[in-house]
Amino acid sequence: MEEKETGQKVKLTSLELDALKEMGNIGTGNAATSLSKFINKNVDMNFPETKFVHVSKFSETVGGPEKMVVGIYLQISGEVHGEAMFLFPEKGAYELIDLILSKPLGTTKRMDDMDKSAFMELSNILTGSFLNALGNMLEAKILPSVPHVAADMAQTLLDFILIKISKCADTLLYVKTGVNVEGHKIDGEFTVLFDQDSLKKIISKMHDKYGLESPGA
Amino acid sequence: MTDIVVDMGSVALGYEHDNLISVGLGSCVGVALYDPEKKIGGMAHIMLPNSKEIPSQQIERKALIAEKDSKIRSSLKNTLAHLGFASITETEEKEGTLAKYKETSPSIAFISAFLPPTNGVDTAKAILSKEPNAPIVIMSPPTDRTTISYYSQEGAKEVMISPFTEERVRSVSEFILGINQLKFADKAIQVLVELMVNRGADKRRLVAKIAGGAHMFPTLMDEEVINIGNRNINISKKNLKEMGIPLEAEETGASIGRTVTLEVATGKLRIKTKDGIKEL
């Protein structure tokens, strides 16, 4: 029994979940490398915590529904379809802006247009390299849209995604990671979700490529 | 004062000493209803405009009940049968549960917290190790928050506290099956008004205030996303109008997140945003 289906939702085996988690890990690693090149500073990444969370619990995972965050949202097209969201606690986002623009840490307190475009550029790099890693792993063309940036309470940035997927999926692939830039720690969260057909496609590609065996459930 | 948080896609009632709160509205809309004379308030946290637009998929209703107490088992079985579950399998201990789970692949598994030989969490973990997304509901007698969140952390999608009334079993099942009707504006407002009238509110006295329906990423031109907020606002207003409930105030649209609180004692709607607090 490789894939059990209820006719509505894709059910995943532990092994398939592990493979998806591995994708998350590789993607984050790739993003860190690109970030390091971009800001020309030492960047290392803590081993990311990758898991699946239920949609209704997501804002709890990022520090509560009213936590102020900067979110980067983009849509994924190509051979698979889906969407992705990066969330940084406000403080971390502003520190990243300081680092990119070579200002002393703590300078940025609110985003002006210049900061916003710097942050968009950063988002392009992070999301692009994350999705590239995914694409390479799956040997599939994955195209990110331009990133969109907003700063507000975490739950308010997420609810339209929860709404869009409330009809089909109920879990999100969630990666939480700490970035150390020149020894300074910045927290960030990343989530990606694929529509049901794409998830099936990804799983079947993983089976082809890595010969995942059914765990004999 | 008691704070009552209205979860996304649900409704709640409050009385004179209550605050009804919808936390973190982005595209969602919070509809607050209020009977000024009886001091009864209601709030709906709406996600989607219209229940009729979503094609009702054929959803399989197959349950597994793992419970030692035969009385609880048979009563839950009756309730589930009443709610349209076609196939209901019963077990009373761990090994039987694992075997039946594998055999029937249920759309919901209700597992008692005290399932022999050890406990229900142990059984749930054995299922989750093979299928991390398994639709498991832990059934428990009334207990403290720490225990409840422990069940959730161990992978239960929902925790159901006794007594297992039909209302509770229905809402848990709909949540797990993803067919919660209260996320829709039309259904939520209708149900909320019925609940308020049942508790003594007069429909002719009800007034409404609404907030939310924002478009949080202004540069995102995806029409589907832009429309979620707009349509939530429009359909909520249309439904209120159809029910003859006057809209007293609104704070909707734009690109800002809002947490709204209805203070039932006064009927005031407090709106908290990143820029400050405002009252309607």
The residue type at B226: I
**Residues B82 and B154 reside in one and the same domain:** yes
Nearest CA distance, B257 vs chain A (angstrom): 5
CB A14 to CB B257 under 8 A? no
The residue type at B17: H
Q: Which CATH number fits domain A14-204: 3.90.1170.30, 3.40.50.1820, 3.40.1550.10, 3.40.120.10?
A: 3.40.1550.10
Tokens, residue B117 = 């030989």
Q: How far apart are CA B31 and CA A135, in angstroms?
A: 43
The DSSP-derived string for B247-260 is EEEEEE-TT--EEE
Domain endpoint, select from B177, B206, B233: B177
CB A163 to CB B28 under 8 A? yes
**Residues B85 and B139 reside in one and the same domain:** yes
CB atoms within 10 A of CB B97: 26
CB B131 to CB A152 under 8 A? no
Which residues in chain A have their CB less than 8 angstroms from residue B216's CB? 71, 150, 152, 156-157, 160
A73 versus A17: the higher-pLDDT residue is: A73
Domain positions in chain A: 14-204
Which residues in chain A have their CB less than 8 angstroms from residue B229's CB? 160
Q: What is the mean pLDDT of residues A24-47?
A: 79
**Residues B153 and B95 reside in one and the same domain:** yes
Number of helices followed by number of strands (H, E) in chain B: 7, 15
Of B60, B131, B216, the CB nearest to A156: B216
Q: How far apart are CA B106 and CA A83, in angstroms?
A: 29
Look at strands A68-78 and A142-144 and give their pairing: antiparallel
Of A66, A75, A150, the CB nearest to B216: A150
B148 versus A190: the higher-pLDDT residue is: B148
Confidence of residue A216 (pLDDT cuts 50, 70, 90): very low
Nearest CA distance, A102 vs chain B (angstrom): 27
Q: How far apart are CA A175 and CA B12, in angstroms?
A: 33
Nearest CA in chain A to B230: A160
- Min mean pLDDT across A82-91, B46-55, B60-69, B247-256 is at B46-55
Q: What is the mean pLDDT of residues B99-123?
A: 93
- Look up tokens 């009729």; give the residue: B52
CB B274 to CB A162 under 8 A? no
Q: Where are the beta strands (DSSP E) in B47-176?
A: 62-66, 87-91, 108-112, 136-140, 158-161
Residues β-bridged to residue B32: B43, B209
Q: How far apart are CA B197 and CA B172, in angstroms?
A: 24
Q: What is the dihedral of CA B144, B148, B150, B153, to 10 degrees?
A: -160
Which pairs count as long-range contacts for B194-200, CB under 8 Å and 24+ apart, including other chains? Answer: B195/B11, B195/B13, B195/B42, B196/B13, B196/B33, B196/B35, B196/B40, B196/B42, B199/B13, B199/B40, B200/B38, B200/B40
* Residue A191 host element (H or E): strand A184-194
Cα dihedral across residues A16, A17, A23, A29: positive or negative: negative
- Terminal-to-terminal C-alpha distance of chain A: 7
User: For position B29, what pLDDT does the model report?
Assistant: 96
Minimal CA–CA distance to B34: which of B239, B165, B208, B255? B208
Q: Has residue A33 got a pLDDT over 90?
A: no
Give the structural domain span for B131.
62-177
User: For position B256, what pLDDT does the model report?
Assistant: 96
- Min mean pLDDT across B61-75, B81-95, B150-164 is at B150-164
CB B256 to CB A152 under 8 A? yes
**Residues B171 and B196 reside in one and the same domain:** no
Q: Has residue B72 got a pLDDT over 60?
A: yes
**Residues B46 and B77 reside in one and the same domain:** no
Q: Has residue B88 got a pLDDT over 50?
A: yes
CB B258 to CB A164 under 8 A? no
**Residues B46 and B108 reside in one and the same domain:** no
CB A6 to CB B216 under 8 A? no
CATH number of the domain bearing residue B37: 3.30.1330.200
Q: How far apart are CA B192 and CA A63, in angstroms?
A: 31
**Residues B96 and B190 reside in one and the same domain:** no
Of A6, A146, A215, the CB nearest to B107: A6
- Min mean pLDDT across A137-146, A178-187, B23-32, B129-138 is at A178-187
CB B130 to CB A155 under 8 A? no
Which residues in chain B have their CB less than 8 angstroms from residue A165's CB? none
CB B133 to CB A75 under 8 A? no
Domain count, chain B: 2
B153 close to A (CB below 8 A): no
Domain endpoint, select from B177, B209, B225: B177
From the candidates A15, A148, A163, A193, which should be mutated to test the interface with B, based on the most B CB atoms within 10 A? A163
**Residues B140 and B186 reside in one and the same domain:** no
The pLDDT mean for chain B works out to 90
CA angle B156, A50, B106 (to 5 degrees): 30
Confidence of residue B263 (pLDDT cuts 50, 70, 90): very high
Q: What is the mean pLDDT of residues B19-38?
A: 95
From the candidates B47, B216, B277, which should be mutated to test the interface with A, based on the most A CB atoms within 10 A? B216
Nearest CA in chain A to B61: A6
Distances (CA, A) of A103 to A23, A40, A97, A106, A122: 34, 14, 8, 8, 16
CB A156 to CB B258 under 8 A? yes
User: For position A171, what pLDDT does the model report?
Assistant: 57
Nearest CA distance, B204 vs chain A (angstrom): 32
Q: How far apart are CA B35 and CA A211, in angstroms?
A: 63
Of B23, B131, B258, the CB nearest to A13: B131
Nearest CA distance, A152 vs chain B (angstrom): 6
pLDDT tens per residue, range A126-179: 778 878 887 888 788 888 888 888 999 999 998 888 787 765 555 566 666 667
- Terminal-to-terminal C-alpha distance of chain B: 19
B216 close to A (CB below 8 A): yes
User: For position A167, what pLDDT does the model report?
Assistant: 57
**Residues B50 and B187 reside in one and the same domain:** yes
B212 Cβ contact partners less than 8 Å away, ≥ 6 residues apart: B22, B25, B26, B27, B28, B29, B30, B46, B229, B232, B233, B252, B258, B260
Q: Has residue A215 got a pLDDT over 50?
A: no
**Residues B75 and B165 reside in one and the same domain:** yes
Q: Has residue B23 got a pLDDT over 90?
A: yes
B41 versus A207: the higher-pLDDT residue is: B41
Tokens, residue B277 = 């607090």
**Residues B214 and B235 reside in one and the same domain:** yes
Q: Has residue A52 got a pLDDT over 60?
A: yes
Q: What is the mean pLDDT of residues B14-39?
A: 95
**Residues B140 and B112 reside in one and the same domain:** yes
B8 close to A (CB below 8 A): yes
Nearest CA in chain A to B228: A160
Of B26, B54, B152, the CB nearest to A157: B26
CB atoms within 10 A of CB A214: 12
CB atoms within 10 A of CB A146: 12
Sheet holding B40-46, edge to edge: B11-14, B40-46, B29-35, B207-212, B247-252
CATH number of the domain bearing residue B113: 3.40.50.2300
Q: How far apart are CA A156 and CA B217, in angstroms?
A: 10
Q: What is the mean pLDDT of residues B209-227?
A: 91
User: For position A101, what pLDDT does the model report?
Assistant: 81
Q: What is the mean pLDDT of residues B130-151?
A: 86
